[in-house]
């Protein structure tokens, strides 16, 4: 009987945490040196699939006009009302006064250095609160202080990607 009650509790909890589906949201940057007053806001779409114990994975697509144009993926977990995931994008973009540029293009235009290949974006950590009853989540994101190693004509070069932070929100897409 106890096992049956535990299983019922687990099924109810897992149903409450269900994040499988399509989510629409946006993230914005906290003010920084490049954008001291303007909070750039980027819409995104997530298509998620939940597995056991609140873990999930899925694909993410930023609005290509305002964010990174290539699709990426996320891996995360929900525990209670807490949500946490890492966003991985295939190409590293840097913010410039004229907009986003790949690190490859930025180094070529700014320093005349041609990298041997495009550089993968470091992981971006999202965390926040999930409200299953409201079908939404809100939180903060952080791109850590990362040292990126790249190659140019076989030579190893390093650059530091500074800390960036911001806020995000998403809600389950309603189909009509």
Q: How far apart are CA 4 and CA 8, in angstroms?
A: 6
Model-wide pTM > 0.75: yes
Q: Is the separation of the CB atoms in 43 and 25 below 8 Å?
A: yes
Q: What is the pLDDT of residues 67-123, one digit of tens each?
A: 999 999 999 999 999 999 999 999 999 878 788 899 999 999 999 999 999 999 999
Overall average pLDDT of the 35-51 stretch: 85
| pLDDT recorded at residue 8 | 47
The DSSP 8-state label assigned to residue 144 in this structure reads: -
pLDDT at residue 4, as a whole number: 57
Domain residue limits, the chain: 2-172
Model confidence at 39, pLDDT cuts 50, 70, 90, reads: low
Tell me how far apart the alpha carbons of residues 70 and 48 are, in angstroms, rounded to a whole number: 17
- Looking at residues 46-73, what average pLDDT do you find? 95
Confidence of residue 36 (pLDDT cuts 50, 70, 90): low
Q: In this predicted structure, what is the pLDDT of residue 95? A: 79
| Average pLDDT score over the chain | 88
Residue 122 Cα distances to 2, 17, 44, 145, angstroms: 45, 28, 18, 10
- Distance CA(123)–CA(146), nearest Å, equals 9
In this prediction, residues 128-137 reach a mean pLDDT of: 93
Give the CATH architecture of domain 2-172: Beta Barrel (2.40)
């Amino acid at each position: 009987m106890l096992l049956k009650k535990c299983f019922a509790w687990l099924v109810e909890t897992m149903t409450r945490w269900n994040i499988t589906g399509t989510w629409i949201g946006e993230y914005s940057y906290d003010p920084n040196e490049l954008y001291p007053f303007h909070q750039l806001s980027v819409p995104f779409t997530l298509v998620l699939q939940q597995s056991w114990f609140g873990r999930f994975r899925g694909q993410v697509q930023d609005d290509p006009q305002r964010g990174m144009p290539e699709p990426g993926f996320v891996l995360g977990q929900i525990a209670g009302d807490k949500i946490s995931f890492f966003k991985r994008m295939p190409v590293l973009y840097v913010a410039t006064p004229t907009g986003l540029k790949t690190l490859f293009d930025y180094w070529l235009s700014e320093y005349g250095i041609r990298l041997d290949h495009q550089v993968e974006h470091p992981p971006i950590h999202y965390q926040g609160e999930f409200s299953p009853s409201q079908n939404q989540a809100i939180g903060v994101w952080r791109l850590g202080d990362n040292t990126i190693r790249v190659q140019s004509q076989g030579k190893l070069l390093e650059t530091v990607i500074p800390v960036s932070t911001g806020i995000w929100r998403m809600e389950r897409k309603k189909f009509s």
